[in-house]
Chain A
C-alpha cells in the first residue's frame, strides 16, 4: 500500500510501464497513474530513470500486539476435512517458531467428539463453536459465530483452507476484522522479531511467486490443499473449550442439503486423468473417462477441451476451474497454458502425453511421452490391464 509517483520528477518517459508486471501504470493525457491492480512489487521503482517512483517505508510490527496462531477446521458431513490436519501441521511450525499456542476452531453442531482427533496433530487448544444453526454451512452464521469468539482476543495469525468453503468463509471474516487476506498460499513463514506472517502465493498463473504481508491483525491467509505435509504427534492433553455463539436470525431458508455426488468429485481424487484439445472429440473423452475409471481415477479437462464442448465445465482444471493436487496426474493432449498449469502443478507425479515434445506441459511434468494420445490410449489401457492382472 505504499508505492507512489512523484509527479514533480516524473518525465512521463514510460520506462516504468514496460516493466510493470500488472500493466497498471497508465500514462494518459500528460498524466501518469498507478491503478488499483498494483501489487506493490517495486519493479517500477527499480527501473525509473528519474527516481520519481517511491515507496513509503513500512515499519510494521505486530510484536506485543498479539501472540497466538489460530486455524479454522473444516467439517464435511460429520468428519474433519484433510485440510484441517494440514493447517494444524503448518500452524504448529509457526507457533513453535515464536513459542506461542496453536488454537483450532471447529464450527458445527455436536462436533466436540470429532474435534478430539486434533490432539494428534499438535494443537494446544480446541475451541468448539456449537449451535443448531451451524449444522449446515451458512456464510453469515459461520462468520458471525467465529468473529464473536475471536474478537475477544485478536489472533496473531488466522489460517483457513483454500477449499471452496474456506474461500467462501475467509473473506467474510477478513472484512469483519477489516484486515487483509492472502488467497491460495503455498508457503508461510513468520518473521520472528516483527511477528509478520510472510505469505507466499503464486501470481499470474504460477509464473511468479509473490510474498505478501498484512499490516493489520489478524494476519489472515487461505492455504492451498496438498502443499503442507501432515505431521502427527503423540497424543497430548488438549484444552477443549465449548463456545455457544449468539446468532441473530438469518433471512434465509434452507430447503435441502445433500452430500455432493462423489463420482463427480475430483477434489479428493488420488489419480486424475485430464484431457485437452488433443483428445479431438467428446467421444474420445468418454474413452478417456473409461481409462480413468479403470485405474481408479477421476477425469478432468483443460479449458480448451471445455470450450470445444468435449467435456463439462464442472471438471475444468486450471485458474478458472478447479485447483487439484492428486498423487498422480496424467495429462493427455494438453499443451499446458499457464492458467492450466496453475491448477495442477502441485500434483505429486505428473505424466504428460503430447505430440509436441516442446509443449510447456513437458517443463513441469515428471514423465513425458511424445505421442498422439488418441492412438496410444487403447494400447496403454491393454498394457495396464496386463499389469493389473499380474498382481
Chain B
C-alpha cells in the first residue's frame, strides 16, 4: 500500500509583531518550521504504515528551499520526501494548491493520503478536503480514532461538535486527523542528522501529469483586496480584589441564566 502525508513548511511565527504604519509583520528572524498540526498527520501515517507494512512519502509544495517540513517528516520516520516546486505553482490559493497536490497523488496512485487539520499561517483547513474532491475520492475529516487498518479498508471514528460516527472506508481516501488523535514522536538526534542530509525529490510540472492552467495564479479563484488592522480594544478594566471579581462573575452568570 502507498501512503502519502502532506506537510507544509510555514514561517515560525510565535512572536509576531506588526508595524503599525504599514501593517506588515516585523520579522526578527526568518526561521521556517513544519506546520505543527502536520506532525500529528505524520504520526498517523507512520501508524498506518506500521499496521500494513507500507511506505510513507512526505509531500509538500513550495519554493525549492522550503524543505523544513519535509526534513522534519523524514526525521520522524517518513521513507521519502517529494517537493512540488515551480514558478507555475506560485501564488496558488486553496483551489490551485489542492489541484496541484492532488494531481501528483493521483499520478502516483497513492492509496491513503493523510493531511494535518490546518496550517498555522493560512489556517483555513480547506486544502485536504478540496484535494479529495478534485481527485473524486472520499475524505474523512475530524478523525478521532483509528480502530483498524488493513490493506483493504480502514475502520475509523469521526468526532464532530455534536456527533460521533464510526464507519469503514475503502481506499483511496484522504484522512484528516484531529490534533489529539496521536501524540507526535520527538525525532532522535541521529534521525534528525540523517534527515538533514537526505535526498529530497524536487519536481516541477514536467515531471507528473498536470494541467498548469489550473495551477498558481491562473488556477486561483480568490483575491485579497484589502488588509487592515482590527480595531484596537482598550486595556482591560482592572479589578482590585477577589471580592469584586466574585461579585462580577456572579452577576454575569446570573444574567446568562436569566437570558440564555
Give the interface of A toward B (CB within 8 A): 1-4, 18-23, 26, 28, 33-43, 46-47, 58, 60, 76-77, 81, 136-137, 139-140, 143, 163-165, 167-168, 170-172, 174-176, 178-184, 198, 202-216, 250-260, 265, 267-268, 270-271, 295-296, 312-314, 316, 319-321, 327-328, 330, 337-339, 349-353, 357, 362-371, 376, 379-380, 382-384, 386-388, 391
Q: Which of A183, A204, A259 contacts B121 (CB 8 A)?
A: A204
- Whether the pair B253, A271 counts as a contact (CB closer than 8 A) is yes
Q: Which of B62, B138, B141 contacts A36 (CB 8 A)?
A: B62
> What's the least CB distance linking B223 to chain A, in Å?
5
- Whether the pair A339, B165 counts as a contact (CB closer than 8 A) is no
Stretch of B49-57, B127-135, B188-196, B204-212 on the interface side: B127-135
- Whether the pair B248, A176 counts as a contact (CB closer than 8 A) is no
Contact sample, A vs B, 6 pairs, CB 8 Å cutoff: A36-B62, A172-B130, A176-B133, A351-B248, A369-B242, A383-B246
- Chain A residues lying within 8 Å of B14, measured Cβ to Cβ, are 337
Q: Which of A19, A198, A252, A330 contacts B167 (CB 8 A)?
A: A252
> What's the least CB distance linking A49 to chain B, in Å?
15
- Whether the pair A182, B222 counts as a contact (CB closer than 8 A) is yes
- Complex CA gap A327/B249 in Å reads 11
- Complex CA gap A215/B225 in Å reads 12
- Whether the pair A41, B16 counts as a contact (CB closer than 8 A) is no
Q: Which of B24, B92, B232 contacts A21 (CB 8 A)?
A: B24
Q: Which of A203, A319, A384 contacts B249 (CB 8 A)?
A: A384
- Chain B residues lying within 8 Å of A19, measured Cβ to Cβ, are 22, 24
- Whether the pair B180, A314 counts as a contact (CB closer than 8 A) is yes
> What's the least CB distance linking A386 to chain B, in Å?
8
- Whether the pair B223, A368 counts as a contact (CB closer than 8 A) is no
- Chain A residues lying within 8 Å of B64, measured Cβ to Cβ, are 28
- Whether the pair B221, A295 counts as a contact (CB closer than 8 A) is no
**CB-nearest residue of chain A to B221:** A180
- Complex CA gap A362/B232 in Å reads 12
- Whether the pair B170, A36 counts as a contact (CB closer than 8 A) is no
Q: Which of A170, A178, A208, A352 contacts B95 (CB 8 A)?
A: A178
- Whether the pair A38, B90 counts as a contact (CB closer than 8 A) is yes
- Whether the pair B224, A40 counts as a contact (CB closer than 8 A) is yes
Give the interface size class of chain B: 35 or more
- Chain A residues lying within 8 Å of B22, measured Cβ to Cβ, are 19, 43, 46-47
- Whether the pair B242, A33 counts as a contact (CB closer than 8 A) is no
A interface, over-half SS: mixed
**Residue with the highest number of chain B CB atoms closer than 10 Å, among A183, A184, A320:** A320
- Chain B residues lying within 8 Å of A327, measured Cβ to Cβ, are 252, 256
> What's the least CB distance linking A362 to chain B, in Å?
5
- Chain B residues lying within 8 Å of A214, measured Cβ to Cβ, are 221-223
- Chain B residues lying within 8 Å of A256, measured Cβ to Cβ, are 164-166
- Whether the pair A41, B92 counts as a contact (CB closer than 8 A) is no
- Complex CA gap A204/B221 in Å reads 21
B198 within 8 A of A: no
**CB-nearest residue of chain A to B167:** A254
Q: Which of A1, A208, A258, A314 contacts B220 (CB 8 A)?
A: A1
> What's the least CB distance linking A339 to chain B, in Å?
7
- Chain A residues lying within 8 Å of B168, measured Cβ to Cβ, are 252-253, 255
Query: With A139-B138, A171-B126, A254-B167 known to touch, is A1 a contact of B93 (CB < 8 Å)?
Result: yes
- Whether the pair B233, A363 counts as a contact (CB closer than 8 A) is yes
- Whether the pair A363, B236 counts as a contact (CB closer than 8 A) is yes
Q: Which of B131, B221, B224, B242 contacts A383 (CB 8 A)?
A: B242
Which of chain B's residues 12-29 have a Cβ closer than 8 Å to chain A? 13-14, 16, 18, 22-25, 27
> What's the least CB distance linking B212 to chain A, in Å?
13
Query: With A313-B180, A327-B256 known to touch, is A35 a contact of B142 (CB < 8 Å)?
Result: no
- Complex CA gap A35/B257 in Å reads 51
